Amino acid sequence: MANDTNVGGPILKSQTVKHRPRTEDFKHTFKLFIKNELAFVGFVIVLVYFAIAILDYVYPSYLGVRNIDTVASWVPQLASGVPGAPTLAHGWWYIFGETEYFAPIFPVMLAALKTDITYSVAIVITGVLIGTILGTLSGYFGKLYDEVLMRITDIFFSVPTLVLAIAVTTVLGKSLTNVVIALIIIWWPIYARLTRGVSLSIKSNKFVEAATASGSSGLRNVFVHVLPNVLSVVFVQFSLDLGSIVQLFAALDFIGFNQGSPLLPEIGNMLTWGTTYLVAGIWWPIVIPGIFLLIFTVAINLMGDGLRDVLDPKLRR
């Protein structure tokens, strides 16, 4: 019976995180990860997206549209009056048709990926840094510091993310830079909570207790024992959040924070352009950018779930 029971374990059982050495066999993890085909496909797609973004920085001319000014300067190619439908007759730039300002969707889309990925990565990385440091310290030192930090994060969690982002951005002033700052401000508590939990459970680990008993200092302990373990959990959350942040960023741009930069190639902005022609039944300016966004978030989720399966010590068998 011992073999087949309690495989998943009751949800409520407190999960203890095993301390694993830093020289953890990375290859093995990667092999496990690749075994999960869906996760691997997701991983590849995400890589492609990042490659596009990077390529856009290095060789912008390969990918057509580069900046705000050029977007507005397109000459209608396909039809008069309204954006032209997808066609291959004018080269592959027009494969997805035209959007507002008669810009070809495909190259603008690629440029938009650069914008969105850059901003999102910047947001998540900053959030991770702030959150992880605060959370780890909080879990490790506990007491008043911990209490205060948790109450502060409580407040952040008591408002829906999007609404909070709207409020903070409005207060900071309506611009995309402020959207980025606002998203950082509201995103760090997630990581603070996460890392606090992990570092708490590691702190109660016999191993760290022993290290403390043998006289190594608290801060050293944090870096030697807690951080490496926290990082794998954070990494999973990071990869999953990238999808949410891209969406959130696009959504904020979509609902009206694009006023400062109405011509910026960005997915939310492109959707705003598309809505102009919604009632005319012109679907491609709406459908195409959304599909690019959807593929990215699906891929991110697949990858993140796969990563969690191999990195989460609770699930790893």
Partner 1 sequence: MILPSAVDWMELRYFILRRILLLIPTILGLSIFMFILIEAVPKAILVTPYINPHVQIPYIIQEQNALKLLGFNYPPPIAYLFYLDRLFHGDLGLMSMPGYPNSVSAAIIDALPNTIQLTIFASIVSIAIAIPLGTYIGARPNSVADQASRVFSLTGYAIPAFWLALLLQLALGKGTIFGNPFGVLPISGSYNPSLIPYPAPSWFVNGYTDPTHLVIFDSLIHGDIPLFFDALEHIVLPVLTLTYGLLAGILRFMRAGMVDASNQEYVKTARSKGVPEKLVIKKHIRKNAMIPTVTVMGLLVAGLLGGVVLVEYVFSYPGMGYLTTQGILSYQVWLIIGTTLVFGLILVMTNLVVDVVYALTDPRIRY
Partner 2 sequence: MMQNSEGTKSDSDVYLRVEKLKTQFFTSRGIVKALDEVNLNIKKGEIFGLVGESGCGKSVTAQSIMYLVPDPPGRIVSGKIYVGNVNMLIGLDRLAKITIKSETNVKIKRNKRLIKRHNYLLSKIRGDRISMIFQEPTLALNPVLRVGDQISENIMLHLKIEMANAILRREMATRKDYESFVQKVFSIGDKDQRGKEILDWCENYSISDAEELVGNIFLTYQDPETIIKSLEFIVNERKSGTDINRLSRARDYYVYQQKLFEATLKLMEAEANGRQDEIESAKYELNEAKREGGTFLSFRVINIFMRRRIEAPLRDAAKRRVIELLTLVNISEPERAAISYPHELSGGMQQRVMIAMALASSPQMLIADEPTTALDVTTQAQILDLIRNLNRQMGSSVLFITHDLAVIAQMCNRVGVMYAGNIVEEADVNTIFDNPKHPYTIGLLRALPRADRIAGKMVKLDTVAGTVPNLITPPSGCRFHPRCKFKMDICEQKKPELDDLGGGHKVACFLYQEPGGSTQ
Ligand X SMILES: Nc1ncnc2c1ncn2[C@@H]1O[C@H](COP(=O)(O)OP(=O)(O)OP(=O)(O)O)[C@@H](O)[C@H]1O
**List of residues contacting partner 2 (CB under 8 A):** 1-2, 4-6, 10
Nearer to Mg ion, 1 or 89 (CB): 1
Least separation in angstroms between CB 297 and partner 1: 4
Q: Least CB distance from residue 17 to partner 1, whole Å?
A: 20
Q: Which residues bind ligand X (CB under 6 A)?
A: 1-4
Strand partners, 98: 104
User: Amino acid identity of 28?
Assistant: H
Q: What's the min distance (Å) between Cβ of 15 and ligand X? A: 23
Which of ligand X, Mg ion, partner 1, none does residue 3 bind (CB under 5 to 8 Å by kind)?
Answer: ligand X
Instruction: Say how far residue 32 (Cα) sits from the centre of its chain.
Output: 23
CB of 9 to ligand X, least distance (A): 16
Of residues 143, 141, 144, 248, the one with CA closest to residue 190: 248
Q: Which residues ranging from 1 to 40 are in contact with Mg ion (CB under 5 A)?
A: 1
Dist CA 166 CA 300 (whole Å):
24
- C-beta atoms surrounding 312 within 10 Å: 14
Does residue 208 belong to the site contacting partner 1 (CB under 8 A)?
A: no
For position 286 contacting partner 1 by CB under 8 A, the verdict is yes
To which H or E segment does residue 221 belong?
Answer: helix 218-221
Find tokens 């495909």 and name the residue. Answer: 106
Residue 274 touches partner 1, criterion: CB under 8 A: yes
Q: How far is the CB of 6 from partner 2 (least distance, A)?
A: 6
Cross-strand pairs, 104: 98
Instruction: Fill in the DSSP letter of residue 98.
Output: B
Report the 3 state secondary structure along 223-288: HHHHHHHHHHHHHHHHHHHHHHHHHHHHHHHHHHHCCCCCCCCCHHHHHHHHHCCHHHCCCHHHHH
Based on CB atoms, which residue is closest to partner 2, 35 or 220?
35
Asked whether position 287 contacts partner 1 by CB under 8 A, the answer is yes
Tell me which residues touch Mg ion (CB under 5 A): 1
Tell me which residues touch partner 1 (CB under 8 A): 1, 4-8, 10-12, 151-152, 154-155, 157-164, 166-168, 170-172, 174, 243, 247, 250-251, 254-257, 259, 271, 274-275, 278-279, 281, 283, 286-287, 290, 293-294, 297-298, 300-302
